[in-house]
Amino acid sequence: MPELPEVETVMRGLTPAMQGATIAQADVNRPDLRWPFPAQMAERLTGQQVMQLRRRSKYILADLASGESLLIHLGMSGRMLVSGDPLGQFTHDHPAAEKHDHVVFHMDNGARITFNDPRRFGAMDLMQTATAAQHKLLAPLGPEPLGNDFHEDHLIAAFAGRNTPVKSALLDQRLIAGLGNIYVCEALYRARIHPARKAGRISKGRVAALVPIIRDVLAEAIEAGGSSLRDFRQADGELGYFQHSFDVYGREGELCRTPDCGHVIRRIVQSGRSSFYCSQCQR
């Protein structure tokens, strides 16, 4: 599933084609994805100007002139592809329609935005912009790891007394929004913290040091266009490249990249997810 850097990359790719433009026509080609689409979704989107695109955790939000916001979740295999952008940001002609093109936005500037999702684990919903933060999917979320509300005091307080592994704590969207398996593994490696260590037993100094490390890992991944694993593509159809910089994720059995370490990367399963780490460097 795309994590924060991938969703941020897609949102940034959509912005030149969508923000400030009007949805001349919205085609909704099925009644649902993971959940049913909201009532009259095509009619409520058609003719609406996109005032702003933004991201909350792993969701893209398009604020409309109508006072509603469109929530988009890419799910496991969802892709939003741009074609025919008259501003020259994208060079792709409009492709032929495909079987899994479930929602298509024809923009008044000539761009076409296609939501393609073979597995149909993605989702879309409409809500009032003024109360979007109270939506059932957004209300429980913790602070954005790249925002001002994510700081040393927050993480120290969030970890205090927790008997869960630090890997699980960092994946808890109520504590921090948007972190996923890949970037938590990478951040813990840089912080030299074992993924199974109990969150409440890590010193305040080491917890505080995690904050800038998490920010750096995410920022570098965004700069690289995300990580292209399985189905992820950017909005222009290109691949992301951060996977070539992974220190531990997916490198089971390979040598640790820390100079003079000499140990190999190991994998354990935590709550059904693979955790990759170096037993020598991470304690």
User: Where are the chain's structural domains?
Assistant: 4-134, 152-278
CA 13 to chain centre: 13
Active site residues: 2-3, 58, 273
Report in angstroms the alpha-carbon separations of 12 from 8, 54, 60, 82, 223. Answer: 6, 9, 10, 12, 11
Residue 13, pLDDT score: 87
pLDDT exceeding 90 applies to what percent of the chain?
A: 78
Cα 82 from Cα 236, distance rounded (Å): 6
Residue 57 has pLDDT above 80, yes or no: yes
Instruction: Give the per-residue pLDDT at 121.
Output: 93
What confidence category does residue 98 fall into, taking pLDDT thresholds of 50, 70 and 90? Answer: confident
Distance of CA 199 to the CA centre of its chain: 24
Q: What is the CATH number of domain 152-278?
A: 1.10.8.50
pLDDT of residue 279: 94
pLDDT at 75 over 50: yes
Q: What fold characterizes domain 4-134?
A: N-terminal domain of MutM-like DNA repair proteins (3.20.190)
Region 84-101: what's the mean pLDDT? 71
pLDDT score recorded for residue 233: 44
